[in-house]
């Protein structure tokens, strides 16, 4: 039985014109990856990579962290749905169900 890994990360090398980076989500399942953008932008100095969340010093940290938590919950829900209903599925199937 494989498990689903969800990782949030920022791409520090791609800063937009207001000095913010996008937060990406990386799904790993059955040794395959699917990466997508969450549509959330933050100051790279506000990102706490070990905890995969925005530091509390940022003014919008609570809202952004709640959005990331919601994305994670929806991905786990899609994974559980596919696990119960299908014998075989891929990381792309999880993303499409999300």
Q: Is the pLDDT of residue 85 over 80?
A: yes
Q: Partners of 10 in the beta sheet?
A: 23
Q: Partners of 78 in the beta sheet?
A: none
> What region does 19 belong to: left with phi over 0, alpha with psi -120 to 50, or beta?
left
Q: Are 95 and 36 in contact (CB under 8 A)?
A: yes
**The whole model's pTM is what?**
0.88
Type and span of the H or E element at 69:
helix 61-85
> What does the pLDDT average to over 26-39?
94
Q: Provide the pLDDT for residue 87.
A: 81
Q: Partners of 41 in the beta sheet?
A: 22
Confidence of residue 1 (pLDDT cuts 50, 70, 90): low
């Amino acid at each position: 039985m494989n498990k689903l890994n969800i990782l949030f990360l920022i791409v520090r090398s791609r800063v937009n014109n207001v000095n913010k980076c996008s937060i990406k989500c990386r799904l790993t399942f059955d040794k395959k990856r699917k990466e997508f953008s969450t549509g959330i932008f933050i100051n790279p100095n506000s990102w706490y990579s070990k905890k995969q969340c925005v530091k509390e010093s940022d003014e919008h940290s609570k809202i952004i962290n709640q959005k990331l938590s919601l994305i994670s919950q929806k991905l786990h829900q899609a994974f559980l749905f596919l696990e119960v209903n299908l014998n075989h599925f891929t990381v792309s199937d999880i993303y499409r169900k999300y």
